[in-house]
Amino acid sequence: MEVSIDLQAENKEIVSRYRKLVKSVRPLMKDNDHKQVRLAFNTALEAHKEMRRKSGEPYIFHPIAVAQICVDEIGLGPTAVIAALLHDVVEDTDMELNDIEKLFGKKVAKIIDGLTKISGVFLQGTSQQAENFRKTLLTLSEDVRVILIKIADRLHNMRTLESMPRNTQLKISSETIFLYAPLAHRLGLYSIKTELEDLYLKYTEPEIYREIASKIQQTKASRNKFIKEFVEPIDDSLNNAGFDYTIKGRPKSIHSIWNKMKKQKVSFEEIYDLFAIRIILETPPDEEKSACWQVYSMVTDFYKPNPDRLRDWVSTPKSNGYESLHVTVMSKTGQWVEVQIRTLRMDEIAEKGFAAHWKYKDSNKEAVGNRETGIEAWISKVREMLENQDGSAIEFVNDFRNNLFSEEVYLFTPKGDLRILPAGATALDFAFEIHTKVGQNCLGAKVNNKLVPISHKLNNGDQIEILTSSKQKPSLDWLRFVVTSKAISKIKDSLRDQKKVVATEGKEIVERTLRLLRIQLSDDVMGELRAYFDCKSSLDFFFMVGQGSIDPGEIRKFREEKKKRDTMPAPVIHDAKSFEKEIRKVRGVEATDQLLIGENMDKIDYALAQCCNPIPGDDVFGFVTVNEGIKIHRTTCPNAVELMSNYGYRIIKVKWTSQKELAFLAGIRITGTDRIGLVQDLTRIISNDLRVNMRSISIDTDDTIFEGKIMLFVNSTEHLEQLIRKLSKVDGVVRVDRFDS
């Protein structure tokens, strides 16, 4: 009886959520849309009827939530709602794309295809996640809604990550910060990008997240009082001038505060710009620019501006469509405050990004003019990138990421045409931006009439003339001088043909050598060869053999090592699942390790990663390498995000036990004011009080400032924290923190 009551309540909740969705999308519906949305909902409801999420909720809650995000937070219409409701149907049930096309048409089927993961077995050295991401991006130039629904899907998954196991939380969070947050930023979805970053921090560094969130809450009252006093004179001026406006004051995101704390090596209390004040004007489109500058003038009547912190994205919008005027001013209490001045249209584009952008483009072409060219230009760049499909998926994802980051430089051609490139772009990037042929024949450039080499980095406002020669050809060295995807892919295209010729010769040498050694060149052997010689791809390996960087004699050494490995009883492990099977076989075998690995928390051989030197007590994960077994990394390791994003299927759950005392290498940095006897006091605490062995100590003094780096052996994070606490109390010491050696 209780079950039926629960089911009734669940069904009621499903209907309630669906009705809320229909209510939100109704203003955007035309003709047959209502029937199609209802059909999509019924189809999804039937397809997922037996399925539940990890939290125990009915699975249908997820597609409804994704559709709701598409409408409320991105501003999409009925087609996106239909696709969002159906986005998991093909992947998780017996329904096929043909069925979707018959019921909902080609457009919806195309979007669903872009949202459906690639199935099948992937070779060693490839990445299923990168392949799936590339597949999704292939639809970007055709229908950007695929990406927007994907971002909505990811946002809901991040909001409901609580019920997932730890290793899944780490994998999904890392993938989010690596790809989806920068992508949301690039598409102008600032509020979604901010929430994704905050949720990433919540699951990867929960203690830090909770601490910053709590401090933001604690300072709320004093912050509100400060904002009220700060905006009072501006309020009066705006009212007297007859402006229709809203003023908001809100704290910076937890993730951006944490980034500042790390970057500037300061505490929460020492960060001055914890919040921004936003002035939003309701004004006709043809008066927007002058209104923003008029308000800027009013703000600077009361507060002194910092000239280095003025950002004018009203005259020249960012390439993702973002428009706003930012000024940092000094308040009466001696605190810097960022003031953002924008119109209601600009604010909606800043919050909802791409979708709002097109809404205004369609409804107000004359007033908005050519402001949409930035985001269109970016999409056409992505389209160009997608045409070059020769590289590996991981290479592609890395190139794509380089295009996502938002810092930009504004540059001019000799005729005064504006070009926007990523910060760090060089004269060679600019040449490829003009035309592929100009890039390939680029000899140098004149920047503001001064002759510069192709590697010269460009600055905001530079005017560039490219110098070419028909004899000039791209070389491998050029890849060091470029940052844009277009330049990278075109240089690689030029080098690839030459490389393929050399690689073909190399392949023949490898096959000949392996035949003599009686080894068949299979995919597995190829993967092992690549790992052994540390090559990113088969082409790189064959090329290195072809040009003589790898001697055929070294392949014989590989054969000897392979023989040793093949005679060892250790199993071949490709991913986390095959590893889980192996551990079950060794369950019950007593080992002396301090780590429990896998779902069943077994004990097995492992190695600690040297990139982050984990110690007992650290939050860690296991990574199944191609030929070095399990490597243990800290979740805060500099390489963690990339490993989890590209090779999530190789991530294994790991936690420490406290079976015995072992010594682990850790590094601590001590800064303070120099005095006689300081080093003696520090070493006494390390060696005598806590009986810690030091491996090395280096000390640097500049006038009265002291900085020491000490490598020492500790038993656990608790042991290390105890040491840091004691050292912090030494007279003259200002700061003690751990660093990755």
Which residues are part of the catalytic machinery?
91-92
3-state helix, strand, coil in the chain (%, to 5): 55, 15, 30
Provide the b/e sequence for 181-195 (b: ≥16 CB within 10 Å): bbbbbbbbbbebbbb
The rounded distance, in Å, linking the Cα atoms of 518 and 527 is 17
As to burial, measured by CB atoms within 10 angstroms (0-12 exposed, 13-18 middle, 19+ buried), residue 500 is: middle
The rounded distance, in Å, linking the Cα atoms of 479 and 462 is 22
Cα–Cα distances in angstroms (integers) from residue 40 to residues 19, 101, 171, in the given order: 14, 12, 31
Number of Cα atoms under 13 Å in the Cβ half of residue 584: 7
Element (H, E) at 408: strand 408-412
With helix as H, strand as E and coil as C, how does 554-623 read? HHHHHHHHHHHHHHCCCCCCCCHHHHHHHHHHHCCCCCCCCEEECCCCECCCCEECCCCCCCCCCCEEEE
What are the start-end ranges of the H helices in 410-536?
Answer: 427-434, 436-440, 485-516, 523-532
Residue 675 phi/psi, 5-degree rounding, is -155, 160
Q: Residue holding tokens 């709002």?
A: 356
DSSP letter at 519 equals: -
* Helix 220-240 / helix 206-218 crossing angle, nearest 10 deg: 60
The rounded distance, in Å, linking the Cα atoms of 137 and 36 is 26
Residue 388 phi/psi, 5-degree rounding, is -90, 95
